[in-house]
Amino acid sequence: MYRRKNLPEQAVEIAITGISHEGRGIGHINGKVAFVDGALPNEVIKAKYQRNRSQFSELKTLEVIKAASERVKPPCDYSEACGGCSLQHWQSGAQLSFKEDMLIDQLNRIANIQSVDFEILPQLQAHTLGYRRKARLAVRNVVKKGGVLVGFREKNSGFVMDMKGCEVLVEEVSCLLEPLRSLITSLDGLEEIPQIEVAVGELGPEKESGKIVALILRHLKNLSETDLKCLLKFAERFEVELYLQSGGMETVEKFFPSDDHERLYYYLPDYDLKMGFHPLDFTQINGELNTMIIDLAIGLLDLDQADSVLDLFCGLGNFTLPVARKAGAVVGIEGSCEMVERARENAQNNAVVNAEFHSADLYKSLGQDSWLSKNYNKIILDPPRSGALEIIPFLLKMNPEKILYISCNPATLARDTAELISGGYKLKSAGVMDMFPHTSHVESIAEFVLR
């Protein structure tokens, strides 16, 4: 990495001709590629160097000389510096079209599929602000900035943002940022608290979308009795559930309320489901869009009582249990034994009797597990960013009539699409869903059928 003193100090004027997959404007300086944070296609901007590498330069927008028609005023005052969002200066519909173009481009380049070869599904979008119900907030005492900071980290930096609120966090969490700063400032152990995990649950459909916030406070040393009393008063005053974590995951303990009920909930009323989860469990951060994706998946699967469905990477049953309401039988597979237990718990609590769950490492050679010997005519895939390449040979042997693939990485989706096509499947439809508005993250869905 070049030291700052080696960077050109004078700002440069650049015509932006494209945009990268990370959401940075692309231009050229004396024939050399330049990636410009905060710039949009068809703009002319003045920018400052951040890094200067042999093959390309990285810059930051200082002034917009000629603005794109899709440029908007960011809804958040911190968007220019905060690493939580990167595209707030772009109209939300244009952001989603950019993500759709990225999906189509990856399918074309990696899987050799043209957009005319499949149906492009309508773009799926919910509210673009106040949507984020899970987050990891950094904490640091920075004397030169006035004391304790609580928030996301700055772009391309380990520094913590000096922020009083956040437009993408649910309101119940955003309004806690300043009180949390005051709380930690008052603690004897303020230098030993590096982060706070946040998870938000729902109080129930009848509660008019009321929410409950859980905070998991990480501390590197034991807290004093005085600090514990301060934490208790804070939790009582703001009516939050508070957990303490002194080491690894096994050290997480509920501090307030003083009960052993370590569950939050989200609801899927159209399927009569109440989904329980531990605050540190993986759940989709955008609850409203998650519900829309489930509805879309159920529609694309076109389920009835004759269907037997396999749900791979099922987590706590987010798709499995809604599918169970429509299909004859469904089996969910997940690598984490703890999440499998959570899924079974959710099935039992919702009186779902036609779903079963098993733990298996889907990235290793599968053995003779009982679930492998069953017949499935429809399969759901919802893998992590690395995709599902290792499991595809097993899917091809199962020969299901339909495979529904939910992806958080268009590159691995396109790679796996090529494998499925070579195995006898056709990409029938695909589309994007705005799970992470104002970021370059692309969530997509693809429907495959036997040729």
- Contact between 386 and 416 under an 8 Å Cβ cutoff? The reply is no
The active-site residue, picked from 82, 85, 314, 408, is 408
Question: Which of 42, 35, 44 is closest to 70 using CA atoms?
Answer: 42
Whether 314 is a known active-site residue: answer no
- Contact between 142 and 160 under an 8 Å Cβ cutoff? The reply is yes
Looking at residue 422, its amino acid is S
Q: For tokens 């879309």, name the residue.
A: 296
Q: How far is CA 248 from the centre of its chain?
A: 23
Query: Which residues fall within 8 angstroms of residue 389, CB to CB, at 6 or more apart?
Result: 412, 415, 416, 419
354-378 b/e (C-beta count within 10 Å ≥ 16 → b): bbbbbebebeeebeeeeebeeebbb
> Annotated active-site positions, please?
408
